[in-house]
């Protein structure tokens, strides 16, 4: 059984690995109500984009 806690991490990484900046921007917009999560998502995504 796959843990539902793993799925968001996989989705975050996969968007960045693909270089899908449009999806990343949509995710960031959805995270506007959670600024601490938004910051973490942005940092992880940008790190993956820089190092792919």
Res 29: pLDDT: 94
Q: pTM of the prediction?
A: 0.73
Res 2: pLDDT: 42
Res 12: pLDDT: 63
Q: Look at the chain and count its residues.
A: 52
Whether the CB-CB separation of 30 and 51 falls below 8 Å is answered with no
Q: What is the mean pLDDT of each run of 10 residues along the chain (52 residues)?
A: 49 82 93 92 91 82
Domain range annotation of the chain = 6-50
In degrees, rounded to 5, the angle at the alpha carbon of residue 25 between the alpha carbons of residues 4 and 15 is 50
Res 11: pLDDT: 62
């Amino acid at each position: 059984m796959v843990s539902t806690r793993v799925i968001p991490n996989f989705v975050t990484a996969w968007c960045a690995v693909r270089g899908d900046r449009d999806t990343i921007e949509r995710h960031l917009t959805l995270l506007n109500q959670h600024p601490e999560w938004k910051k973490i998502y942005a940092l992880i995504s940008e790190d993956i984009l820089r190092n792919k």
